[in-house]
Amino acid sequence: MFETLTKGFRSARNRLAGLTELTEENVDKALRDVRLSLLEADVEFGVTKRFLARVKERAVGQIVQTSTKAKGKKLKVGPAEQFIKICQDELVDMMTDGGEALTFAKQRTKPTGIMMVGLQGAGKTTSSAKLASLLEREYSRKPILVAADMQRPGAVEQLQVLGERLQIPVFNIPGASPLEICQKAAAYCRRIKRDTIIYDTAGRLAVDEPLMAELAAIKETTRVENILLVVDAMIGQDSVKTAKAFHDLLGLSGVVLTKLDGDARGGAALSIREVTGTAVRFAGMGEELDRIEEFRAEGMASRILGMGDVVGLMKDFESVVDEKEAEKDARRMLQGQFTFDDFLSQIETIQKMGPLQDVFEKLPMFGDAMPEGMNLDERELGKTKAIVYSMTREERRDATLFQKQPSRLKRVARGSGRTDREVADLIQRFSFMKQLMGNIGQQAGMLGKMPGMKQLAMGRRLNDMVKMGGLEGNPMMAGLADSLLEAAVAGQPGALGGGGTRATQNSHTRSRRKNKRKDQRKARRKSRRK
């Protein structure tokens, strides 16, 4: 998502790296990269021009601090960081208006009305169901869905199916006009003691007078508090023109952007508020009915700049994990009691959080490490699960059984349809994770001292992290996996449960010697200064 935009800002940052000041000349060069990516991402030309002018005005002549304090620590700051901070602030201002996502009725006796409008194919019906689910989960509301789209064949039946899946009432009067259905929805809502009405209205292939007349009549009759325009993010600048037409006639309170997970451009998200004056309120991020979230301009700006979105990631995590169970499992794992069932549970948790590409993009450490155009193949997670499912209960609890009886590895490979090498590689990764968790539990700060883990925290070990989910080749673990495979074929003891291969031990020794020499050089420089 937003790959085109991210590429331009990354190029601008790299262009400013190593410079000592922000001058008009180097800012213009950086903005040229940004301009190209904005236009390529379908951001409206006038919006692009105004954004670049604001950034240039703030950046040129800016006094660049060489260091700043954050949480008591000194951090180095250069022109590149200063430029990106200015861009982030302007992006946030461009996408937000400071208002609330939804306005609720002040009178308890009056249900809150939410009118969903838009063109055909934008995803109004699905978004209506998703919004109802979100209102129940996060707002503690009791919504009903009103099937007022009598224009599109199957629209009523589609909403009824979605409502049944979510166990949310759907109101419709067969053969009645959309206006009559909407008029009688409020009485039905009060009768079944619900407090929110979501009207799924009809759309057209294009904005026309009959459509607008019908929507205006429904608005006048229902006096809804919210009118949300559902817009397909993938149609680019056309979505902005559509938003402006609806806003001029109906007075929108917000926009719901759909199909954001499939759009590498994202120009609509940046342009809509600037052109129409109404901000994006919700974003649809996938096909499942829980894949909608309240639009956060800060998180979106951060992701566009390649810096991830930790807050959004934590919200995704909290929505799929039971806090008490997670705490209990973590305590057990850190004591070294880590099984293949736990490994499987972690994979399933990642899958519940949404598309793998989306999850990884929210990790700050992968902003620069993610190769351009890289797509994470989620099918690899399925292959990993197939291997674990092919194991017996005893094998899942005790991975050393594969070392004691190498024939088990071959049986699992046949059962899962994978090769012996793939199974051996997975078992070795599992053993590495188990040992890692045990070490963390025994010694505070152990993670930071382990060879290679410091670079991992900086985002330079994307390959290793992806490999943990069975997605990519991992050079660091290849030797260990080969050792295990050879042991399985030859029927000899392998690397499982031991202290690692000789190559790994030598690598650790070299790392310790290198650190020791570095400390000695620092000590000599310090003594010379004295």
pLDDT (0 to 100) of residue 253: 93
Calpha distance 252→116 (Å, rounded): 10
Q: What is the DSSP letter of 224?
A: -
232: confidence class by pLDDT, cuts 50, 70, 90: confident
pLDDT for the residue 490? 43
Per the listing, tokens 């053993």 go with: 431
Residue 1 has a pLDDT of: 53
pLDDT > 90 fraction of the chain, expressed in percent and rounded: 27
Give the pLDDT confidence score for residue 355 in this predicted structure: 60
Q: Tens of pLDDT along 397-412?
A: 888 888 888 899 999 9
Q: Among 358-362, 487-491, 494-498, name the one with the lowest average pLDDT.
A: 494-498
Provide mean pLDDT across the span 511-516: 63
pLDDT at residue 194, rounded to an integer? 95
Q: pLDDT exceeding 70 applies to what percent of the chain?
A: 67
8 A C-beta contact, residue 196 and residue 111: yes
Tell me if 483 sits within 8 A of 424, measured CB to CB: no
The confidence band for 255, taking pLDDT boundaries of 50, 70 and 90, is very high
pLDDT in tens, 360-388: 555 554 444 444 544 555 677 778 888 88
Contact indicator for 392, 340 with CB cutoff of 8 Å: no
Cα(333)–Cα(346) distance, rounded to whole angstroms? Answer: 12
For position 306, what pLDDT does the model report? 66
Q: Could you tell me which residue, 448 or 89, shows the higher pLDDT?
A: 89
The 3-class secondary structure across 197-251, one letter per residue, is EEEECCCCCCCCHHHHHHHHHHHHHHCCCEEEEEEEHHHCHHHHHHHHHHHHHHC
CB–CB of 91/304 below 8 Å?
A: yes
- pLDDT tens digits, residue range 12-52? 888 888 777 788 888 999 999 999 988 888 888 888 999 99
CATH architecture of 3-95: Up-down Bundle (1.20)
pLDDT of residue 182: 96
Pick the range with the lowest mean pLDDT from 148-157, 207-216, 244-253, 266-275. Answer: 266-275
Ramachandran angles phi, psi of 205, nearest 5°: -70, -25
Whether 268 has a pLDDT exceeding 80, the answer reads no
- Between 116 and 300, name the one with better pLDDT: 116
Architecture of domain 112-297: 3-Layer(aba) Sandwich (3.40)
Helices 340-352 and 310-320 sit at what angle, rounded to 10 degrees? Answer: 120
Tell me what pLDDT residue 523 has. 72
Helix (H, G, I), strand (E, B) or coil at 357: helix
- At 40 the three-state DSSP class reads helix
Within 13 A of 452's CA, how many CA atoms are on the CB side? 14
Instruction: Decide yes or no: CATH 1.10.260.30 for domain 314-499.
Output: yes
Question: 245 versus 99: which is more confidently predicted?
Answer: 245
Residues 430-447: tens digit of each pLDDT: 887 677 655 544 443 433
- The whole-number average pLDDT for the span 243-252 is 90
**H or E segment at 73?**
strand 73-76
Q: Which residues contact 178 (CB under 8 A, 6 or more apart)?
A: 148, 149, 150, 201, 202, 214, 218
- Helical packing angle, 45-59 and 79-95, nearest 10°: 140
Whether residue 466 is predicted with pLDDT greater than 50 in this model: the reply is no
* Residue-level pLDDT at 240: 80
- Look at residue 166 and tell me whether its pLDDT is greater than 70: yes
More confident residue, 433 or 143: 143
Mean pLDDT across the chain, nearest whole number? Answer: 75
Rounded CA-CA distance 83/12 in Å is 9
Specify the pLDDT at position 456. Answer: 35
